[in-house]
């Protein structure tokens, strides 16, 4: 995979660390407004690069574990996790999370799902064009190797980053996966209907049907919290994060389509890694001092 083109000083800083180019290390400051970070292409791309567990073309996999890259990863992840916690607090509270019990975790999760209903699902079933459906699939398939990260909007990268940072805790990982299973159950049906309406091909069948995956993850949530009841809030916040980012992505897509603005970013010029041009204007002397948080 090609190393993405930086979208600002933060992503330029992570790229510099991967390429072993001297740059100022990150400095963690106050948490940003969560909504601002969701839509910040520089922050989200920087976090995505720092979290990426694969090998970029021309960059050895061992570079990802160098101290400078690890510092970026930890600082960016901590900042995003704090923003997610702030973003999801009202959702969890409204879903009864303040008094949540492991035995009723299914009710709490379903309440979260209902509170985040998005008009996008109805739109893709009844109105979306073939081009819009392709844009939708591209924006939601960031984990696929052929996806062009340089063209994906910040909110789609944010959804992927959320999944990655929440893998660190077992309860958080299970909560996110359970919510993702519920989202897929709703989304896949509408997408299939939309594809059928325009005469498109149905999505390839998956190994585990959405209904079965939802039931399996819900049971796993109950079992985990029965053994670790103190992790209920962590699980709910992670589930709420998956749902909140899905809603943000849906709003972005609908807004772009209704306002006739591009969903995907324009094609950027790629530079050859390992040359001065690889960083280009990303590491100009006047921006070196911006490679920090705040």
Residue 59 lies in a domain: no
Residue range 151-201, pLDDT digits in tens: 888 999 999 999 999 988 899 999 999 999 988 888 888 888 888 888 877
At residue 86 the predicted structure's pLDDT band, cuts being 50, 70 and 90, is: very high
Across the range 253-277, mean pLDDT stands at 66
Terminal-to-terminal C-alpha distance of the chain: 30
**pLDDT at residue 133 in the model:** 86
Question: Does 251 have pLDDT greater than 80?
Answer: yes
Residue 280 lies in a domain: no
Residue 8 lies in a domain: no
Q: Residue 278 — φ and ψ, nearest 5°?
A: -60, -30
The helix (run of H) or strand (run of E) holding residue 273 is: none
The sign one gets for the Cα dihedral 133, 140, 148, 258 is positive
Residue range 229-249, pLDDT digits in tens: 889 889 999 999 999 998 898
Cβ burial of 39 (10 Å; 0-12, 13-18, 19+) is middle
Q: Which of 183, 186, 158 is nearest to 252 (CA)?
A: 158
Residue 207 lies in a domain: yes
Residue 141 lies in a domain: yes
**pLDDT at residue 218 in the model:** 92
Residue 5 lies in a domain: no
What range defines the domain where residue 261 resides? 33-54+80-265
pTM above 0.85, yes or no: no
Distance CA 248, CA 44 (A): 14
Question: Does 278 have pLDDT greater than 90?
Answer: no
Cβ burial of 293 (10 Å; 0-12, 13-18, 19+) is middle
Residue 4 lies in a domain: no
C-beta of residue 83 within 8 angstroms of C-beta of residue 31:
yes
Question: Does 210 have pLDDT greater than 70?
Answer: yes
Distance CA 80, CA 288 (A): 23
| Domains identified in the chain, total number | 1
With tokens 């790229």, the residue in question is: 15
**pLDDT at residue 287 in the model:** 28
Which residue did the predictor score with more confidence, 199 or 204? 199
DSSP 8-class letter at 152: S
Distance CA 18, CA 15 (A): 5
Residue 110 lies in a domain: yes
């Amino acid at each position: 995979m090609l190393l993405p083109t930086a979208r600002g000083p933060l992503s330029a800083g992570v790229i510099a660390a991967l390429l072993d180019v001297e740059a100022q290390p990150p400095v963690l400051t106050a948490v940003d407004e969560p909504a601002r970070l969701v839509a910040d292409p520089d922050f989200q791309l920087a976090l995505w690069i720092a979290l990426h567990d694969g090998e970029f073309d021309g960059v050895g996999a061992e570079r990802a574990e160098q101290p400078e890259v690890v510092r970026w990863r930890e600082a960016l992840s901590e900042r995003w996790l704090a923003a997610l916690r702030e973003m999801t607090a009202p959702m969890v509270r409204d879903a009864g999370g303040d008094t949540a019990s492991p035995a009723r975790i299914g009710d709490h999760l379903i309440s979260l799902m209902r509170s985040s209903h998005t008009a996008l699902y109805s739109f893709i079933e009844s109105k979306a064009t073939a081009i819009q459906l392709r844009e939708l699939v591209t924006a939601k398939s960031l984990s696929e190797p052929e996806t062009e990260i340089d063209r994906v909007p910040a909110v789609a990268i944010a959804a992927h980053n959320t999944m990655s940072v929440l893998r660190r805790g077992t309860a958080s990982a299970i909560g996110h996966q359970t919510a993702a299973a519920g989202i897929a159950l709703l989304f896949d049906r509408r997408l299939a209907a939309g594809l059928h309406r325009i005469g498109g091909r149905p999505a390839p069948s998956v190994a585990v049907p959405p209904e079965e995956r939802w039931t399996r993850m819900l049971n796993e949530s109950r079992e985990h919290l029965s053994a670790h009841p103190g992790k209920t809030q962590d699980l709910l916040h992670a589930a709420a994060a998956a749902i909140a980012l899905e809603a943000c992505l849906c709003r972005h897509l609908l807004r772009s389509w209704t306002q006739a603005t591009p969903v995907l970013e324009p094609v950027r010029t790629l530079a050859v890694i390992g040359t001065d041009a690889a960083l280009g204007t990303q590491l100009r002397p006047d921006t070196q001092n911006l490679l920090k948080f705040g």
